[in-house]
Structure 1
């Protein structure tokens, strides 16, 4: 006959199991990890950027506690630009960060052991060109002889180069005046220059001051109404990326996979629940609601490592070579590490690296 003590132990064990099952039902993002999937390092730092083009998913994850749901304790160091990510990751002070495709091309071009483990957003729609108040063009050829504000070292120059190629004007006859973005907005609004070659929300701010949008990398406004370019005809290709040190890719893959699950959940929040996503971004990124909505609305958030991302890598590589920012070409295989994202969600990785010869 089973003893009373034995029956109590069995009952306690069953209730404990039911309790765990109930917890998983209530908290669907709680995962049971096998020993092989155990997180190697739960606490770590990330180089973030206070910009919805780069830092949106991190902001949402921090605000809504997604890191904790995956068993992670993450400290985000919020920076002002992707250039800061270059500095801190290159120096080895932070093993993970967010940045643009150009950031990754520089890492790989300088042979630094850092690769991108996922995309974050297609940010080309936020890059563009706005005209100053009272400036009207009947043709892009009329840009010859005009002055444009521009921030040196940024890839919006490629938008002007593509316009020159498509419409047959001499880009050398356009005067580029190097200014920081806020100076460019003011100069363009006063008519000191004829337009601003830049990115959101600076284009939006100029438009609020009476300027007009002329084109973005993905949409043509020259006729007065927006006409989207085909992907092949875009004026520029650009993506934000999640970067990780190669040592972590090799030796802390489960930690990075947990992080990718966090980013995936945050990406889903952006695309399915924009109101709550914007609320989190406004609080964490400290951006006013109107320009934030413009920037977030222009970005196309997604993590896929696919042929479109490869186009961006190749496009930015060519530009970095042309300005001598890197000494040698960077291949997608140099820049990307798709295996961790493929383990988290195989549907997000459709590009396959070339086998090493």
Structure 2
């Protein structure tokens, strides 16, 4: 399902990019060489390490100021807020998920992704309730699982059914918000929870058993990572901007992305420092924060992996009638800004 040959600026790509000339002094020189069109502006952030990690680090360590920017981060609670704010035309730059871009494009709004932030498949998953033991995944048939309607974690069951030979339609899904789902699962009212971090971690800390994430299966009791091209679920967090800003304020967006490149390096090379910052800014319990940041793969750029997440989420959104038609990647992603920062950030090419 996924042509996942590109990994943005993860650990391996950082080494490659530095060798190609993406040294931090060069980033600063690049920022100084191009006049920023609008130094002061607002970015819509999400108080979640899956979506807001680089923003939080850049804000706390004054990395925006190093690029000549005066950025105000308006922190919100979820990517749903991004949909509302960007959909209403109340902001020009924001973070979101692959689903955010799918819906905005489905509404034919002029908003495009200019970079990934993290591969978040490992933060989406499925936890069995305390005391529930399965000798084989087919024993999921007949079980009751909590889930939150409108979220793609339900697709984990379809993939698990395909792999292990059971019928996911024989599983009863009980719609409730994530907090209710954690409580219901901990009490045994349901036999498991489909959801995302930190809710998975909360249930595990109550005695639940992690059974699968988008990137790893734990059916045997041991982690079994899925091949990059055959994950259970694909999803990314990303940075979006209006087409108007991409066209008229490219230097501003490039300076913003340079700051996030530096923040990403802190996340990869000095995790202790990053965790201290994230705990203060994002206000998340330190143990849950550690689990979440470990599950994320922080990576910047426009990559085949990012495009694969877009296609996966697009197909799901259309199947639930959230969008009427699927927009092609070329209508949803702009490589211009990442190319300005470094060609090494762009490993996907639009179809001509």
TM-score (norm 2): 0.91
Equivalent position of 1:13 in the other structure: none
Question: 1:300 aligned to 270, 292, 297, which one?
Answer: 297
Equivalent position of 2:131 in the other structure: 134
List runs of 5+ in structure 1 lacking aligned partners.
1-26
Alpha-carbon shift at residue 192 of structure 1 (Å): 0.5
What are the superposed Cα offsets for residues 218-237 of structure 1, whole Å, 9 maximum, x if unpaired?
A: 11111111111111221000
Equivalent position of 2:75 in the other structure: 78
List runs of 5+ in structure 2 lacking aligned partners.
1-23
Would you identify which runs of 4 or more consecutive aligned residues in structure 1 move more than 4 Å?
27-30, 32-36
Equivalent position of 1:208 in the other structure: 205
Larger Rg: 1
Question: 1:125 aligned to 107, 122, 127, which one?
Answer: 122
What are the superposed Cα offsets for residues 53-94 of structure 1, whole Å, 9 maximum, x if unpaired?
A: 000000001110011111111111111000000000111111
Q: 1:137 to 1:33 in 2, by over 3 A?
A: closer
Range with bigger deviation, 164-173 or 245-254: 164-173
- CA RMSD in angstroms, aligned pairs only: 1.5
Alpha-carbon shift at residue 30 of structure 1 (Å): 8.3
Q: 1:42 to 1:174 in 2, by over 3 A?
A: same
**2:44 is aligned with 1:47:** yes
**Partners of 2:316 and 2:61 in 1: how far apart?**
38
1:11-90 alignment, distance < 5 Å: 28=25, 31=28, 37-90=34-87
Alpha-carbon shift at residue 172 of structure 1 (Å): 1.8
Equivalent position of 1:181 in the other structure: 178
**2:348 is aligned with 1:343:** no
**Partners of 1:186 and 1:334 in 2: how far apart?**
41
**2:158 is aligned with 1:161:** yes
**2:99 is aligned with 1:102:** yes
Give the secondary-structure state (helix, strand or coil) at the position aligned to 1:169: coil
Alpha-carbon shift at residue 305 of structure 1 (Å): 1.3
**Partners of 2:31 and 2:203 in 1: how far apart?**
54
Equivalent position of 1:252 in the other structure: 249
> For the Cα contact (< 8 Å) 2:31–2:67, is it kept in 1?
no
What are the superposed Cα offsets for residues 298-321 of structure 1, whole Å, 9 maximum, x if unpaired?
A: 100001312111111111111111
TM-score (norm 1): 0.90
Equivalent position of 2:287 in the other structure: 290
> For the Cα contact (< 8 Å) 1:30–1:69, is it kept in 2?
no
What are the superposed Cα offsets for residues 263-294 of structure 1, whole Å, 9 maximum, x if unpaired?
A: 11111110011011111111110111000000
Question: 2:189 aligned to 175, 189, 192, which one?
Answer: 192
Aligned residues: 329
Alpha-carbon shift at residue 209 of structure 1 (Å): 0.4
Q: 1:29 to 1:347 in 2, by over 3 A?
A: closer
What are the superposed Cα offsets for residues 133-186 of structure 1, whole Å, 9 maximum, x if unpaired?
A: 111111111111100010111110111111122222222211111111111111
**Partners of 2:31 and 2:129 in 1: how far apart?**
59
Give the secondary-structure state (helix, strand or coil) at the position aligned to 2:115: strand
